């Protein structure tokens, strides 16, 4: 029976995916194997902690890692 990932591991996977070049929300969702609603909550949490920032580019939202 496979183990479940901890919340911290999922956050780290999301940050690594963004750092690896994926910026579009749906691609981050598929790469990290997290459903849409939890991913949006995670991204909002990371934005509020200034770990990532959201860029609006031609009606597409993209995420970028900050210096912090």
In a domain, 55, yes or no: yes
pTM for the model: 0.85
In a domain, 49, yes or no: yes
Identify the CATH number of the domain in which residue 48 sits: 1.10.10.10
- Mean pLDDT score, 45-66: 85
Which domain does 37 fall in, by range?
7-65
Q: Of all residues in the chain, what percent carry a pLDDT higher than 70?
A: 94
pLDDT in tens, 29-43: 999 999 999 999 999
In a domain, 32, yes or no: yes
In a domain, 26, yes or no: yes
In a domain, 2, yes or no: no
How far apart (Å, rounded) are the C-alpha atoms in residues 68 and 24?
A: 20
Rg (alpha carbons) of the chain, rounded to whole number: 12
- Mean pLDDT score, 48-60: 83
In a domain, 1, yes or no: no
Model confidence band, residue 28 (pLDDT cutoffs 50, 70, 90): very high
Number of domains in the chain: 1
Residue in 45, 54, 48, 49 with CA at minimum distance from that of residue 18: 54
In a domain, 54, yes or no: yes
Model confidence band, residue 3 (pLDDT cutoffs 50, 70, 90): confident
CB neighbourhood size of 39 (10 A):
19
């Amino acid at each position: 029976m496979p183990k479940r990932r901890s919340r911290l591991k999922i956050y780290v996977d999301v940050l690594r995916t963004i750092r690896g070049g994926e910026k579009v929300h749906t691609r981050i969702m598929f790469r990290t194997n997290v459903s849409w609603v939890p991913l949006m909550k995670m991204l909002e949490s990371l934005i509020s902690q200034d770990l990532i920032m959201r860029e609006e580019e031609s009606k597409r939202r993209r995420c970028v890692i900050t210096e912090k």
